[in-house]
Structure 1
Amino acid sequence: MAKALELIFRNEMGKQATISVIGPKEPVDPAAVKAAMENLIAKDVFGSSGGSLVSIEGARIVERNVTDYELM
């Protein structure tokens, strides 16, 4: 099972932009995540097709299960 921490922002065009962090340290510290997201916005580290990231929308852990089937 793969886990990712999704950091969800709004960009200059008002659209949602998401950054995924694979294999986050758990348990997730919401205060630390918020501080990191604020830092990313302040330093303008990432951009998107809609411009710079300007506000925080939220964060979430996403788990993904993959089952391969042999088809013969």
Structure 2
Amino acid sequence: MAKVLEMIFETVEGKSATIAVENPKHPVHVNTIKLAMEQMIAGNVFVSASGGFVGVKGARLVERNVEELELG
């Protein structure tokens, strides 16, 4: 199973922007994620098509199961 941590930010234009981190270190601590997101906002680290990040909207762990199909 592949896990992805999605951090969702509010942008200057009031839209959402998501940063995805594959295979995050476990266990995932909510306070650590929130602090990291706040530091990204304060440092103006990322800019999206709808502008810089101005707020934390949320975060989630997404788990998916991929099954390769043999076609040959």
TM-score using structure 1 length: 0.94
CA distance in 2, matches of 1:21, 1:8: 11
What TM-score does the superposition give when structure 2 sets the normalisation length?
Answer: 0.94
1:22 deviates by 0.9
Residue of structure 1 equivalent to 2:54 = 54
Which residues in structure 2 correspond to 1:1-72 (within 5 Å)? 1-72=1-72
Residue identity opposite 2:22 in structure 1: I
Residues in 2 aligned to 1:25 and 1:69: alpha-carbon distance in whole angstroms: 29
- Paired residue total: 72
Percent identical = 53
Give 4+ residue runs of structure 1 displaced > 2 Å after superposition: none
| Structure 1: gaps (5+ residues) | none
SS in 2 for 1:41: helix
Q: What's the C-alpha RMSD, in Å, of the aligned pairs?
A: 0.9
In structure 2, what is the Cα distance between the partners aligned to 1:26 and 1:59? 15
Aligned with 1:44: secondary structure?
Answer: coil
CA distance in 2, matches of 1:55, 1:31: 15
- Measure the CA separation in 1 of the matches of 2:22 and 2:3: 6
Cα distance between partner residues in 1 of 2:71 and 2:21: 32
